[in-house]
Structure 1
Amino acid sequence: MKFSHKAQYLLFGMGSRRKLLYLPGGKLLDALNLETLHSWDVETEKIDPAEYQVMLSTRQGRQVRILENEEGLWLEQDGTREILSRGRSVKLPRFEGNTHAAWLRALHSELLVNITPFGPVPNLWVYPRPWYRDAAMMLMCLRHTGNLALVEAWTLGLHKLTDRNNAGMAEADNLGQILYMLSLFDARKHPLIEEVLKAIPNYREAEHITGLTDGSAHPVYQTKWLKFGLESLGFDTPYKIPTVYDSYSSLFWMGYRKEHVAGKRFSRQAMELFPYLSWAEAHFHDEAPPELLGELLPPLTREGQASEAEYWRLKEFAAVGIIPDSEEYLKFSLPHTWHAAEIFLYLIEKNQSK
């Protein structure tokens, strides 16, 4: 299967700001309730995700710009500037010196617009709740850009050992992800840390942990996350990564790369549906990007046919022309933050290693 990217729109509303959506042809909508806020009779338009803006010329000769910066979300027209949403200020580094600076800025925006009042989510439309795995990868990016304050309240408010978003399962990798996220705020005395430490024996097998992640046992991946979380907090870790094949081992590129047993790689279908898997794998093996980074046509990232995504929510988006009304599109979420995070972190590390 080859996913055909026909939708184009730009999301605004980084961090705590109101979520807005620009639809080509001159419509600015509320991204959640789809209320039309502004519309223009467009002659020309330029959607520029790397500069967080849309520039329009109308048939009546008006010049319009919708833009987002560190201080807010703005509408400029008729010589005036109107604030559309302010919220908490954000930091927007330019990534000067990186070959893919424009891509990094646009990916950073896709991460920031998916921070909701309920926390950092994989996609603001089909995932109403945060997932610890995706959130941990998002926070890894926010640490690089100085935006952890945007998710501090959510992180310090965590009180469950696992998110139980995946068919209600208690996923073993969540333990390490919790520890890592709390370490970013130096929260060594957070009550959930003690609960994680007490829960580890429930997953322990010999000198590692094992359990379910995405419905299967992934002891290498799960133990890597646990060790990483413990070490991020400065705790001793007696656990050893098992010497067994684990298809998810290569998803953890942040360390322990030598503790890996080679085996079957992710398929081309996985690349189309779950591209974050292939990006993480390429990062782990120090390989070329699994996708070409060409023209910046937002949304840049995706996930398809995920078992727990609430795709029924997309029907109203198709009804107003935001996405094509097709079975294919109604099973994809665009953008997707794990995909955005994996590309972002790959490009950051590759630039640093030059």
Structure 2
Amino acid sequence: MKQLFLFLLLTPTLWAQSIPPPTLYPNPEAALQLYRSTLLRLRQEYTNHRDLPDLKFFLFGMGDRTKYIYRNGRLINALTGNIEEQWVVKNEIIVPSEYLVHLTLDEGVTIQIREDETGVWILQTPPAKARNVAKMPKPRRVGATRSVLNLPRFADHTFGLVLRVLHHEILINVVTGTDGIGRPVPNLLVYQKPWYRDAALMAMVMRETGNLRLIRDWIMTIRDPFDRNNAGIAEADNPGQVLFLVSLVADQNHPVVQSALDSLKQFKRENYIIGKTDGAEHPVFQTKWLKYGLKSLGLPDTYVIPNQYDSYSSLFWWDYTAEHVAGKKFGEESSMNYPYLTWAEDHFYSRTEKPEKRGMLGTIDYPLSWEQKASQAHYPGLTVLDKGFVKQKLAFPHSWHAAEMFLQLFDK
């Protein structure tokens, strides 16, 4: 039995070793134009746009891999700021949908940084005058990026290339700690701890793409049914989110399950729960999450969703859509700063007789997701990317936003 377990544990590593390294991507210009044409179609469908600073950078290191930033000819460790590689670049092409940066150096030398299912790679051609196929430099894997990921192409989806980028923006925000555990955070530069709500939406995407193993160990270590990220408050939507997360990798015997059930006493009112979420009471949203968590684990459920207006009710679009009282929707400021709210609301109404497309899109190729002016974000962490973002309090990519967009477009 031990030998079988060891074999299963090593299988992904052995598979990664058996896959040949990537070759030079043949036509990055054409790939970029194809991606931009897909983005254009999406922007024609979703007409609310926001200007974002076009920083011309790309993040490498999805999932449990070391995180890197490419910008201005440098490959930088995103979490330490160390410059790992540096080139004098004549021209660069960033192709987000191919996880590719294509660099042209002096004397016709080409450098490509590529991320694929087995790691982050640097590929290089020699100078044009010395080019010989037999002497082509071998692809070199960037340090601590050897791991197996599922990176679908979503070829059967209208916005498949956009889904590729959104998937990247979710997986890039899984950060592995010194304990070897991958934690899903809203943004790798300004958040150090997972938020259960964001993590739950990220997990929905990882379930679709076969990458739940990236956060399995983190879920197994959860003991507190509250993430306590909003000024230390025990938020009433958290227990349901924790129960759902547990259901993805374990069962009712997980230690946090009983803690989550015991915690409900402080929120229970008649046959529903009510407490604080984002500083306000959202009993419909909170009870929906609880019921969904209980259902996901096959636990008894005596709760009833209250029949009242709740601005967060429409954030819960994948179940209980009939239990909703219409009212004021999220405004433009919320959509600009917290675009995940409007994308979730759109998804909710897309499942009714009154579909809407108010979700905000940026005007740049990459990233596609962001968050601004969040009360609990540590914006000085953006210094490694660009000091200007610290003052703007603008962090991207953002995993909840990316997940809401992904799940909406994937659902089409």
Q: Which amino acid aligns with 1:289?
A: K
Please name the residue that 1:303 is paired with: 371
Residues 291 and 195 of structure 1: is their aligned pair in 2 closer, same or farther, counting only changes over 3 Å?
Answer: closer
CA shift digits 1:200-241 (9 cap, x unpaired): 122110110010000110000000000011111112211010
% of aligned pairs identical? 44
Of residues 61, 66, 76, the one that matches 1:29 is 76
What are the equivalent positions in structure 2 for 1:50-199 lying under 5 Å apart? 50-78=97-125, 79=136, 80-84=138-142, 85-118=144-177, 119-199=183-263
* Partner SS state of residue 228, structure 2: coil
Unpaired runs of 5+ residues, structure 1, are none
- Contact 1:3/1:272 (8 A) holds in 2: no
1:334 aligns with 2:393: no
- Contact 1:49/1:296 (8 A) holds in 2: no
CA shift digits 1:124-161 (9 cap, x unpaired): 11101111111111001000000000110001110111
CA shift digits 1:276-305 (9 cap, x unpaired): 000000000113433476876112110000
Which stretch shifts more, 187-196 or 247-256?
187-196
Q: How many residues align?
A: 343
- Contact 1:50/1:105 (8 A) holds in 2: yes
Q: Quote the Cα distance in structure 2 between the aligned partners of 1:291 and 1:206.
A: 36
**TM-score normalised by length of structure 1:** 0.93
CA shift digits 1:247-278 (9 cap, x unpaired): 10000001111101111110100011000000
Residues 340 and 267 of structure 1: is their aligned pair in 2 closer, same or farther, counting only changes over 3 Å?
Answer: same
CA shift digits 1:19-66 (9 cap, x unpaired): 01111x322111112211222222222111111111111133101110
Please name the residue that 2:52 is paired with: 4
**TM-score normalised by length of structure 2:** 0.80
Which stretch shifts more, 48-57 or 4-13?
4-13
Q: Which amino acid aligns with 1:82?
A: R
Q: Quote the Cα distance in structure 2 between the aligned partners of 1:341 and 1:21.
A: 21
Of residues 35, 38, 43, the one that matches 2:90 is 43
Unpaired runs of 5+ residues, structure 2, are 1-48, 126-135, 178-182
- Contact 2:186/2:198 (8 A) holds in 1: yes
* Partner SS state of residue 227, structure 1: helix
Residues 104 and 156 of structure 1: is their aligned pair in 2 closer, same or farther, counting only changes over 3 Å?
Answer: same
Q: Quote the Cα distance in structure 2 between the aligned partners of 1:192 and 1:326.
A: 37
Which stretch shifts more, 215-224 or 44-53?
44-53
Larger radius of gyration between Structure 1 and Structure 2: 2
- Contact 1:103/1:296 (8 A) holds in 2: no
Q: 1:323 deviation in Å?
A: 2.7
Q: Quote the Cα distance in structure 2 between the aligned partners of 1:241 and 1:42.
A: 58
Please name the residue that 1:312 is paired with: 380
- Contact 2:67/2:79 (8 A) holds in 1: yes
Q: Quote the Cα distance in structure 1 between the aligned partners of 2:356 and 2:314.
A: 15
Greater helix content? 2
- Contact 2:361/2:368 (8 A) holds in 1: no
* Partner SS state of residue 193, structure 1: helix
Q: RMSD in angstroms over aligned alpha carbons?
A: 1.8
Q: Quote the Cα distance in structure 1 between the aligned partners of 2:73 and 2:389.
A: 23
